[in-house]
């Protein structure tokens, strides 16, 4: 872990990442890709130590309230004290300026900040996004070794449901020959139905691999699934998109289950929802009383 002072914290679309790198160890992590030009070892997490200060400066000058998105490139709940302090302070600032939040994580550490998520949701809109890939807990521990298990993430979804916070699940990636099974997809969808998630993002059944990410993924296949790397290389070569042979069948199950249970599964619609700022109607009524 190391610290860095950065010049900016919000992207043009109000995206925010308070750190770079990760110690979760997910075998498929796209953030390892060389195209992102990370100049340090991936596990040597870079903490943007002045992130809260920069965020407050930016929100002070914004003419309109907005949704702040975080977690797309680096999980905000990497278990490093300085990082956890940073994300909590940033949430306090978002709540202070009555902005909305769309936050993505795989960690139950988010429950530590439930009080702030509720406050943000009461003022505007808070969306919690959780990645689910492997219904089987033992498989989850292999492909996502240092993070909350799928069952633990399911508990996060239920907690958010019980507190009136909308949730969106990222059903991605689905790894060919590993978790691209009907049992896996139906198991995850059952969790989503029970937790009453608002929507599920799915980019078909498969994964993407780029330089940097690909090498790490294949290294882990050699460790946990001997012989599977050769099967991948023979079938996909150096392709960016690696689609499962079961994609059609599994997508039919996915779409039908979502439609039957009123779960939004249109990716464009979900991204619009995550980026659209909405003030809480109860809050608006209160202001006019």
Convert the pLDDT of each residue in 117-136 to its tens digit. Answer: 999 999 999 999 999 999 99
Closest CA to 55 of 102, 109, 6: 6
The mean pLDDT of 107-121, rounded to a whole number, is 98
pLDDT value of residue 288: 40
pLDDT value of residue 281: 58
Q: What is the DSSP secondary-structure string of 139-166? A: HHHHHSTTS--HHHHHHHHHHHHHTT-E
Are 106 and 130 in contact by the 8 Å Cβ rule? The answer is yes
Determine the 3-state secondary structure of 56 from DSSP.
helix
Determine the 3-state secondary structure of 194 from DSSP.
helix
Write out pLDDT tens, residues 34-66: 999 999 999 999 999 999 999 999 999 999 999
Q: How far is CA 252 from CA 142, 146, 177, 242, in A?
A: 27, 32, 19, 18
pLDDT value of residue 280: 72
Kindly compute the dihedral angle of the four CA atoms of residues 253, 209, 151, 269, in this order, to the nearest 10 degrees: -50
The mean pLDDT of 246-270, rounded to a whole number, is 98
Residue 260 above 90 pLDDT?
yes
For the structural domain made of 2-288, what CATH number should be given? 3.20.20.70
Q: What are the boundaries of each domain within the chain?
A: 2-288
Phi/psi at 111 (5° precision): -65, -20
Residue 286 above 80 pLDDT?
no
- CB neighbours (10 Å) of residue 38? 16
pLDDT value of residue 289: 41
Q: Environment class of residue 64 by beta-carbon count within 10 Å: exposed (0-12), middle (13-18) or buried (19+)?
A: exposed
Determine the 3-state secondary structure of 79 from DSSP.
coil
Are 106 and 153 in contact by the 8 Å Cβ rule? The answer is yes
| Model pTM score | 0.95
Q: What is the DSSP-derived secondary structure letter of residue 35?
A: G
Tracing tokens 């680096």 back to the chain, one arrives at: 74
CA dist 29 and 22 (Å) reads: 9
């Amino acid at each position: 872990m190391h610290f860095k002072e950065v010049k900016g914290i919000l992207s043009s679309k109000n995206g925010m990442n308070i750190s770079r790198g990760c110690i979760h160890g997910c075998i498929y992590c796209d953030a390892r890709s060389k195209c992102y030009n990370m100049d340090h070892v991936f596990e040597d997490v870079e903490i943007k130590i002045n992130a809260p200060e920069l965020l407050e400066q930016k929100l002070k000058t914004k003419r309109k309230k907005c949704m702040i998105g975080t977690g797309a490139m680096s999980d905000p709940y990497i278990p490093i004290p300085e990082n956890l302090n940073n994300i909590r302070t940033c949430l306090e600032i978002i709540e202070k300026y009555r902005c909305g939040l769309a936050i993505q994580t795989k960690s139950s550490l988010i429950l530590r900040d439930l009080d702030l998520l509720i406050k943000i949701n009461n003022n505007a809109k808070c969306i919690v996004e959780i990645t689910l890939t492997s219904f089987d807990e033992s498989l989850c521990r292999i492909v996502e070794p240092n993070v909350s298990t799928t069952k633990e993430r399911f508990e996060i979804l239920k907690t958010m449901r019980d507190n009136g916070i909308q949730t969106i699940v990222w059903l991605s990636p689905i790894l060919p020959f590993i978790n691209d099974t009907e049992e896996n997809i139906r198991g995850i969808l059952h969790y989503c139905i029970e937790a009453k998630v608002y929507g599920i993002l799915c980019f078909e059944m498969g994964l993407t691999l780029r330089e940097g990410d690909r090498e790490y993924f294949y290294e882990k296949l050699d460790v946990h699934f001997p012989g599977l790397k050769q099967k991948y290389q023979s079938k996909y070569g150096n392709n960016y998109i690696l689609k499962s042979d079961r994609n059609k069948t599994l997508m039919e199950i996915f779409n039908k289950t979502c439609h039957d249970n009123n779960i939004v599964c249109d990716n464009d619609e979900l991204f619009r929802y995550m980026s659209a700022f909405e003030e809480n109607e109860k809050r608006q009524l209160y202001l006019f009383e």
